[in-house]
Chain A
């Protein structure tokens, strides 16, 4: 029996529902890797622009396990789940740590009425009080037992029991099967609605969506490495492009050099483009001295850049959002090769 998968496709698992699903599909589409899914109930899909890839829709919470087992090569999911579930598996590597969506924080939260518990030090005291006065441990309900345990230990909180979560964690303190919770929160609304308050201080973990890979599977197959690099490079070029705006303008002047010097010389030189302006002659029948200037600036600065160009006599100013910006090499592809070298 041939144990190899028939097609040797690179398989990537992505979240099958919720906000993560939508954002992941949008990101891949924007990176030129639009997913073609015949209908919503099918959980296998294709990327027409990259036929050697198969997309598998999975629950976000199962994706780390799928990568760990090797039933998929790559996975996109929340870093919170990766941090929790990849402990002890060094063949799970984080190949794109910051995909820029799905941001949340892992926090400890207590009932609002516990006005005496504000800091980690208070919590450490309270846990000991619980043990002495009630004869039992403080119970924390969480889907993140490893991260929570490490955090509590680091902050000298002993005498805590972690309770496994079924369904909505936030209701546990009210229902009485736990005293407090450790869970992810993006806006804090759910916590507030359930009359819970976050412990003051840094969160246990800051998370956003990331892409992970099974190192052993990629190592064993150079073609999969190449396909992975194409995916990383496309996402990187797209996310990079989102940071910048491209502007062109026509400016009258004596020569290309004099316009270039003017753009660079002023105190607004950071508005003269990433690597300085490109200036090219415009061939026109009427006026003789028109030059086209192209600059690429930080997204947040495009209005300033337009003013800057106007001040120098700019006309016909067009502003574009670039789709991709490629450097000489992809940082994430390079990082991937380093991770695979270990």
Chain B
């Protein structure tokens, strides 16, 4: 029987030598640039505890993770690397000399069904806009080094929305749901979808509010009285207690739930706020022109605005081209750990929905993972998308490494190996073959005559020379 083809996994791809060389050189450019800002390379496991993302870093990404159970542990392939860096820092695995500690990494991540490479930096313990501006400036410097001309830097600040939601006192889950759906509020369709989702979760949402009779009944009772009432009620309804929860548990949770106020009004306020916030996009001047009125309308403070202004000044000092910068306060992130300045870098080759770099400030993540309160900021490149943009601009040409194919004759095997070894020691890649093969390198031929004179015949594009080994090395290594 014919055996079936084993296909590659959906969303993963194979990398040819040519693509690999290209990707590697781009990665090295990024790493060198990050190194020049003092970011030290580290490497972290690809498989992580699912727990890392369940409550801590959370958000939309949970639905996009590739998770599995292995020997009773709930694990996942990392959907990003920042949380792992924070985890390793809390775990005291990174041994920084002091704070702020600057780390960089490069590795595979898995999100939705896609596998791609992230190259990024994290500055743990870095406070203030100076650190945020450094991360953004390092990103722009990377792009300049790669000669990417057409990138677009978009800034935002998570603080505006988180502060407003905190003021409403929404429960965490609701808050997270709203945070991760900010960009949905831009379109009527997105708003309807979010409202639909909210009404699926909170059946009372969107209905006319009326004060609950239950709240009135239980308001006057103390906890024990209230519980006794509920238990009696349960009893009188003749509801059979099956399943794995006791009467007590059910009564306790019902009481907590009754006492929690109806949040429809708050949700509606939050949705209005988010709809307005999404409109704040454009050039820095344009957004700064309208943002004050917005902040005043909702009685928000100016901190986020000030930070954005500081960042812009610092980026100017770094020499970042101002015409590439815009502000979009409706930006939302896949990860919920962001707390302050956030940014994304896009490119026309990727369209409006994708960006090849993103990051920002995450001041609570280290503490959420069990560390002491430690502010932090960072960013990462999606290498695959960056390569896509680079190819479109067609500017970054990878250097071809010197390489040659050496053809062996039967009567000069030993001499052939000797020549190959000499060339390899000089840093030239040499393939040994018996017969001519198609390739785009230099071709070297040696036979008894060459062995006699300790020379070789070097050929490229039909031009053949007889050279000494040293002269051949020179010739091949010339750019």
Interface residue from A3, A121, A129, A173 paired with B243 (Cβ < 8 Å):
A173
For this complex, 14 residue pairs linking A to B, each with C-beta atoms less than 8 Å apart, are A1-B1, A111-B242, A111-B243, A113-B239, A113-B243, A115-B250, A121-B174, A124-B201, A153-B62, A155-B200, A155-B201, A158-B62, A159-B54, A201-B199
Residues 26-78 of A at the B interface (beta carbon under 8 Å): none
Q: Mark B182-220, 1 if CB is under 8 A from A, else 0.
A: 000000000000000101111110000000000000000
B201 cross-chain contacts in A, Cβ below 8 A: 119-121, 124, 155-156, 201
Q: A200 with B239: in contact, given A113-B234, A116-B257 (CB under 8 Å)? A: no
Contact A122 B257 (CB under 8 A): yes
Interface residue from B197, B202, B234, B251 paired with A119 (Cβ < 8 Å):
B202
Interchain CA distance A183-B243 in the complex, whole Å: 17
Interface residue from A125, A179, A201 paired with B244 (Cβ < 8 Å):
A179
Contact A176 B2 (CB under 8 A): no
Contact B239 A116 (CB under 8 A): no
Interchain CA distance A112-B4 in the complex, whole Å: 50
Residues 344-366 of B at the A interface (beta carbon under 8 Å): none
Closest-CB distance, B12 to chain A (whole angstroms): 13
Residues 116-165 of A at the B interface (beta carbon under 8 Å): 116-122, 124-126, 129, 133, 150, 153-156, 158-159
Contact B203 A154 (CB under 8 A): no
Which size bracket describes the interface of B in this complex?
A: 20 to 34
Interface of B is mostly: helix
For residue B317, CB closer than 8 A to chain A, the reply is no
Closest-CB distance, B35 to chain A (whole angstroms): 38
A3 cross-chain contacts in B, Cβ below 8 A: 1-2
For residue A202, CB closer than 8 A to chain B, the reply is yes
Interchain CA distance A136-B239 in the complex, whole Å: 26
Query: Which residue of chain B lies nearest to A177 when distances are taken between CB atoms in the complex?
Result: B244
Contact B63 A174 (CB under 8 A): no
For residue B10, CB closer than 8 A to chain A, the reply is yes
Query: Which residue of chain B lies nearest to A154 when distances are taken between CB atoms in the complex?
Result: B63
Interchain CA distance A274-B245 in the complex, whole Å: 59
Q: Mark A84-113, 1 if CB is under 8 A from B, else 0.
A: 000010100000000000000000001111
Which size bracket describes the interface of A in this complex?
A: 35 or more
Interchain CA distance A27-B96 in the complex, whole Å: 71
Residues 367-381 of B at the A interface (beta carbon under 8 Å): none
Contact B173 A124 (CB under 8 A): yes
Interchain CA distance A299-B197 in the complex, whole Å: 36
Q: A121-B201, A126-B253, A155-B200 are in contact. List 7 more A-B contacts (CB 8 A).
A: A114-B245, A116-B254, A119-B202, A119-B203, A129-B253, A200-B203, A202-B200
B115 cross-chain contacts in A, Cβ below 8 A: none
Contact B203 A201 (CB under 8 A): yes
Contact A179 B243 (CB under 8 A): yes
Closest-CB distance, A293 to chain B (whole angstroms): 46
Q: A113 with B63: in contact, given A119-B203, A156-B173 (CB under 8 Å)? A: no
Closest-CB distance, B247 to chain A (whole angstroms): 8
B257 cross-chain contacts in A, Cβ below 8 A: 116, 122, 125
Residues 233-260 of B at the A interface (beta carbon under 8 Å): 234, 239-245, 249-251, 253-254, 257
Residues 192-223 of A at the B interface (beta carbon under 8 Å): 195, 200-202
Contact B10 A88 (CB under 8 A): yes
B177 cross-chain contacts in A, Cβ below 8 A: 156
Interchain CA distance A121-B172 in the complex, whole Å: 11
Closest-CB distance, B352 to chain A (whole angstroms): 24
A contacts, CB < 8 Å to B: 1, 3, 88, 90, 110-122, 124-126, 129, 133, 150, 153-156, 158-159, 173-174, 176, 179-180, 195, 200-202
Interchain CA distance A126-B243 in the complex, whole Å: 14
For residue B279, CB closer than 8 A to chain A, the reply is no
Query: Which residue of chain B lies nearest to A153 when distances are taken between CB atoms in the complex?
Result: B63
A179 cross-chain contacts in B, Cβ below 8 A: 243-245
For residue B176, CB closer than 8 A to chain A, the reply is yes
Q: A174 with B250: in contact, given A154-B63, A201-B200 (CB under 8 Å)? A: no
For residue B55, CB closer than 8 A to chain A, the reply is yes
Interface residue from B63, B204, B249 paired with A150 (Cβ < 8 Å):
B63
Closest-CB distance, A193 to chain B (whole angstroms): 12
Closest-CB distance, B365 to chain A (whole angstroms): 17
Interchain CA distance A202-B198 in the complex, whole Å: 11
Interchain CA distance A117-B250 in the complex, whole Å: 9
Interchain CA distance A154-B64 in the complex, whole Å: 10
Query: Which residue of chain A lies nearest to B9 when distances are taken between CB atoms in the complex?
Result: A88
B204 cross-chain contacts in A, Cβ below 8 A: 119
Query: Which residue of chain A lies nearest to B202 when distances are taken between CB atoms in the complex?
Result: A121
Contact B242 A155 (CB under 8 A): no
Residues 1-53 of B at the A interface (beta carbon under 8 Å): 1-2, 10
Interchain CA distance A52-B173 in the complex, whole Å: 57
Top 8 A-B residue pairs of the complex, sorted by shortest distance between their CB atoms: A111-B243, A116-B254, A153-B63, A120-B201, A116-B253, A173-B243, A200-B203, A201-B200
A111 cross-chain contacts in B, Cβ below 8 A: 242-243, 245
Closest-CB distance, A90 to chain B (whole angstroms): 8
Query: Which residue of chain A lies nearest to B180 when distances are taken between CB atoms in the complex?
Result: A156
A110 cross-chain contacts in B, Cβ below 8 A: 243
Closest-CB distance, A212 to chain B (whole angstroms): 19
Interchain CA distance A110-B250 in the complex, whole Å: 12
**Which of A1, A3, A113, A119 has the most CB atoms of chain B within a 10 A radius of its CB?**
A113
**Which of B199, B200, B243 has the most CB atoms of chain A within a 10 A radius of its CB?**
B243
B203 cross-chain contacts in A, Cβ below 8 A: 118-119, 200-201
Contact A114 B250 (CB under 8 A): yes
Interface residue from B174, B200, B239 paired with A115 (Cβ < 8 Å):
B239
B199 cross-chain contacts in A, Cβ below 8 A: 201
Query: Which residue of chain B lies nearest to A126 when distances are taken between CB atoms in the complex?
Result: B253
Closest-CB distance, A119 to chain B (whole angstroms): 5
Closest-CB distance, A131 to chain B (whole angstroms): 9
Query: Which residue of chain B lies nearest to A159 when distances are taken between CB atoms in the complex?
Result: B54
**Which of A1, A114, A129, A195 has the most CB atoms of chain B within a 10 A radius of its CB?**
A114
Contact A112 B250 (CB under 8 A): no
Interchain CA distance A121-B199 in the complex, whole Å: 10
